[in-house]
């Protein structure tokens, strides 16, 4: 009752090849080892949880990387379209400003900081008044 009927209690006769018996025993040991490992994993809740977290993290990381790549491609596409739609004089001014900012990044940072500071002051005054 409850016993698996596969080769349980099979009689070993003298006609069986000893090498075949050894091979069968080794196969059975490997199967038993795999079964024990699977059962052990099923009862190890921490390991299963850790594996699920790692899988979820990998999935999220992959999706973020895909989203970044897509966003970068779209940004480049939109920048190209905007540049193509600009008049030639405006394109020249933008290119000139870009060159100046690359040569003197400190000045560009100072201008951006001043603009942000001014905007912050304006927002604070509007909230108070």
Residues 78 and 21 in one domain: yes
pLDDT at 92 over 50: yes
54 lies in which domain range?
A: 16-85
Q: How many domains does the chain have?
A: 2
The pLDDT tens digits for 32-44 are 999 998 888 888 8
pLDDT at 27 over 90: yes
Cβ–Cβ under 8 Å, residues 101 and 108: yes
Residues 51-62: b if buried by 16+ CB within 10 A, e if exposed:
eeeeeeeeeeee
The pLDDT tens digits for 109-128 are 888 899 999 999 999 999 88
Residues 39 and 77 in one domain: yes
Last residue of a domain, one of 65, 85, 105: 85
Please give the backbone phi and psi of residue 6, each rounded to the nearest 5 degrees, phi first: -75, 115
The pLDDT tens digits for 37-82 are 888 888 888 988 999 999 999 999 999 999 989 998 898 888 888 8
Assigned domain for 64 exists:
yes
């Amino acid at each position: 009752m409850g016993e698996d009927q596969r080769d349980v209690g099979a009689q070993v006769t003298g006609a069986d090849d000893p090498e075949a018996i050894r091979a069968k025993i080794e196969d059975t040991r490997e199967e038993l080892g795999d079964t024990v490992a699977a059962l052990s994993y099923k009862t190890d809740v921490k390991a299963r949880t850790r594996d699920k977290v790692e899988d979820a993290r990998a999935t999220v990381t992959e999706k973020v990387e895909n989203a970044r790549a897509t966003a970068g491609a779209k940004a480049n596409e939109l920048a190209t379209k905007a540049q193509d739609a600009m008049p030639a004089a405006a394109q020249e001014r933008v290119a000139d400003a870009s060159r100046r900012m690359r040569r003197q990044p400190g000045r560009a940072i100072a201008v951006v900081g001043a603009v942000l500071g001014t905007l912050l002051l304006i927002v604070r005054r509007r909230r108070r008044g």
